Amino acid sequence: MLEHDAPQPAPHQGAPDFSRRVLAESDQSLPLAGSADNREAALSLVTQARRTLDIFTQDLEPMVYDHQPVLDAVRQLALRSRHSRIRVLVKDSHRAVKDGHRLVELARHLSSFIEIRKAHEDARDAAEAFLIADGIGTLHRTLASRFEGTVNFRAPLHARRLAQWFTEVWERSAPDPELRRLHL
């Protein structure tokens, strides 16, 4: 997809401090080396987002997105404004549904603001995972199966390219039947 467009990280010197990064201002690309880095970077981006969040994920990444502080930040973003929009494209939701992923339940409760769709088959070869906050901040891993990647709180060009691809796939994707609530 757009791997070659990803900003290159600065040399890794210990765990990055995401708390000092400001969405739309801090333009240094920081390396992510594990699930904890990804979770903290996602939390910082989501917490600072004011309007939109787009997530492309293979399986809803429970090590990142099924974490209470991240879920709380997503809920706060959803309820911040009637214009808030959170879109999630997932390639395979089977495990998330089976394991009771809390983001799925949150999306069910806040369906006016959070929508999860099964990624169209056009995205079947996309091996990456990413998050875009307010169309400017990005968390990007070129191989979703690994937690090495980058986060940048001000990457407008990279965010625009990811968002364009995301929107094209989103428009061809449909709600995931596995995510529908079962009424017994």
Secondary structure (DSSP) of 66-135: SSHHHHHHHHHHHHH-TT-EEEEEES--HHHHHHT-HHHHHHHHTTTTEEEEEPPGGGTT---EEEEETT
pLDDT in tens, 149-168: 999 999 999 999 999 999 99
Domain that holds residue 93: 24-179
Give 5's DSSP letter: G
Q: Which residue's structure tokens are 């070129």?
A: 142
- Give the integer Cα–Cα distance in Å for 92 and 58: 6
pLDDT in tens, 66-106: 999 999 999 999 999 999 999 999 999 999 999 999 999 99
Report, in angstroms and rounded to the nearest whole number, the Rg of the chain calculated over CA atoms.
Answer: 15
- For the cut 50, the answer to whether the pLDDT of residue 12 exceeds it is no
What pLDDT does 7 receive? 54
pLDDT in tens, 15-47: 688 989 999 999 999 999 999 999 999 999 999
Number of domains in the chain: 1
- Domain of 72, CATH number, reads 3.30.870.10
Indicate the pTM of the whole model: 0.90
In a domain, 19, yes or no: no
What's at 46, amino acid-wise? V
In a domain, 155, yes or no: yes
Q: For strands 52-57 and 174-175, give the pairing.
A: unpaired
In a domain, 10, yes or no: no
In a domain, 16, yes or no: no
In a domain, 18, yes or no: no
In a domain, 109, yes or no: yes
In a domain, 161, yes or no: yes
What pLDDT does 6 receive? 56
